[in-house]
């Protein structure tokens, strides 16, 4: 059926929102993903009606039938983006159109209906506007989580005929709890994240469910994150559980694993590629093996490595641990190129630097 390009959102403000004092206490040290705002957006889809019933309403439990398809076959996708408070009291988003498009691509891979980009953007804008007091000051931000799941009451294995799209928001600080200058990563010997032909390039909940045992193994080995190798040869570095990865070499060049269907096409990754090239840095999108990583770290050819993503921003990687032992990158802390690129990215995101590529979307 023809897709509605925009919808009328019913506005049902929370009758008893969190008080300013309670909110201030929650925002003092929000951590990541535990403090939620007062409202949520919901939009329904039915194959006979298309997208309909758009609302902004008090955040709360969603009644579901125990036979809802998502609970059985995991037909679910999500996005992650941040709203920032600007110096003049406004709020901005970083490249939200890219999240809207990736959400559409994820939907196609999971046999779900495509949400029109204007609906995605309006839903996010409306939530940020109504919950503007929840955007933390300083280094914090409002992490926005749009998601969609199969909501048909039916146990047959087929694409659902009904879906619920929801947007919630969480006031956040840094993703990693560590005070260390760099994080450590564990190279998973047994588990892979995605195989060719699978769902690695889609942001679907199932990818994260499958990564948890590997992440738990990383934690057991004292590491902050897991790094996955490719599923075919088990030697090419792909990405971390929830972040892309970059390498910096002694000649000033950089590399990052190429997108080939098994890696999430990160918006931070794409932005850093552009920013690095703007600075005249040569960046290759090329395969890099774990053996080469180890050899280059030992020889000094590899100077820095960092993880990047919406939640992690740019986070230096200092130590790589595997079944065969561990190696350090550079001095085990952050590096100059990592810090330079992080500053360039964060400067644009927070409105402290010029925005030559038009990445900033003003909410209000």
Residues noted as catalytic: 203
Nearest by Cα to 284 from 257, 315, 244? 257
- Tracing tokens 């400067």 back to the chain, one arrives at 347
202 or 311: CB nearest ligand COI: 311
Stretch that binds ligand COI, among 4-12, 49-57, 304-312, 323-331 (CB under 6 A): 304-312
Which residue in the set 80, 173, 200, 318 belongs to the binding site for ligand COI (CB under 6 A)? 80
Q: Which of residues 233-252 bind ligand COI (CB under 6 A)?
A: 242
At 207, list the tokens: 């990818």
Residues within window 245-274 making contact with ligand PLP, judged by CB under 6 A: 264, 266-269
Which is nearer to ligand COI, 147 or 236 (by Cβ)?
A: 147
Exposure letters 71-95 (e unless 16+ CB within 10 A, then b): bebbbbbbbbbbbbbbeeeebbbbb
Min CB(34)–ligand COI separation in Å: 12
Work out how close the CB of 81 gets to ligand PLP at its nearest, in angstroms, rounded to a whole number.
8
Q: Does position 160 bind ligand PLP by CB under 6 A?
A: no
* The binder of ligand COI chosen from 43, 305, 307, 311 (CB under 6 A): 311
- Which one, 188 or 310, has the nearer CB to ligand COI? 310
80 binds ligand PLP (CB under 6 A): yes
Element (H, E) at 143: strand 141-150
> CA–CA separation, 158 vs 231, rounded Å?
27
Q: Using the rule CB under 6 A, is 146 a contact of ligand PLP? A: no
> What 8-state DSSP symbol labels residue 266?
-
Residue 146 as a binder of ligand COI (CB under 6 A): the answer is no
Q: Which stretch binds ligand COI (CB under 6 A): 68-76, 116-124, 306-314, 350-358?
A: 306-314
Find the DSSP H helices in the chain.
20-28, 70-73, 96-109, 117-130, 205-220, 267-278, 290-299, 336-349
DSSP reduced 3-state for 178 = coil
Q: Checking DSSP bridges between strand 35-36 and strand 10-11, what pairing results, if any? A: unpaired
Give me the residues that bind ligand COI (CB under 6 A), please: 80, 242, 309-311
């Amino acid at each position: 059926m023809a897709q509605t390009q925009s919808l009328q959102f019913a506005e049902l403000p929370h009758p008893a929102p969190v008080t300013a004092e309670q909110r201030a206490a929650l925002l003092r040290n929000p951590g990541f993903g535990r403090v939620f705002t007062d409202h949520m957006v919901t939009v329904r889809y039915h194959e006979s009606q298309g997208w309909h019933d758009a609302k902004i309403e008090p955040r709360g439990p969603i009644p579901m039938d125990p036979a809802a398809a998502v609970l059985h076959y995991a037909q679910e996708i999500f996005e992650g983006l941040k709203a920032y408070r600007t110096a003049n009291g406004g709020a901005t988003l970083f490249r939200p159109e890219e999240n809207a498009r990736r959400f559409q691509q994820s939907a196609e891979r999971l046999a779900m209906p495509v949400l029109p980009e204007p609906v995605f953007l309006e839903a996010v804008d409306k939530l940020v506007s109504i919950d503007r007091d929840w955007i933390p000051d300083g280094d914090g931000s409002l992490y926005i989580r749009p998601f969609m799941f199969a909501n048909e009451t039916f146990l047959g294995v087929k694409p659902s005929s009904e879906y619920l799209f929801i947007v919630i928001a969480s006031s956040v600080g840094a993703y990693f709890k560590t005070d260390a200058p760099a994080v450590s990563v564990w190279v998973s010997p047994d588990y892979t994240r995605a195989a060719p032909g699978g769902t690695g390039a889609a942001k679907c909940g199932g990818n994260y469910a499958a990564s948890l045992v590997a992440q738990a193994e990383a934690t057991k080995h004292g590491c902050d994150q897991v790094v996955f190798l490719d599923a075919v040869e088990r030697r090419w570095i792909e990405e971390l559980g929830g972040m892309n990865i970059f390498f910096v070499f002694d000649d000033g060049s950089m590399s990052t694993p190429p997108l080939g269907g098994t890696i999430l096409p990160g918006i931070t990754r794409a932005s850093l590629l552009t920013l690095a090239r703007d600075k005249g840095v040569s960046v290759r999108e090329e395969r890099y093996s774990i053996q080469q990583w180890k050899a280059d770290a030992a020889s000094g050819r590899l100077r820095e490595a960092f993880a990047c993503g919406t939640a992690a921003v740019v986070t230096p990687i200092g130590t790589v641990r595997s079944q065969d032992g561990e190696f350090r990158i550079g001095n085990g802390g952050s590096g100059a190129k990592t810090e330079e690129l992080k500053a360039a990215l964060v400067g644009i995101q927070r409105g402290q630097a010029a925005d030559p590529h038009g990445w900033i979307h003003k909410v209000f």
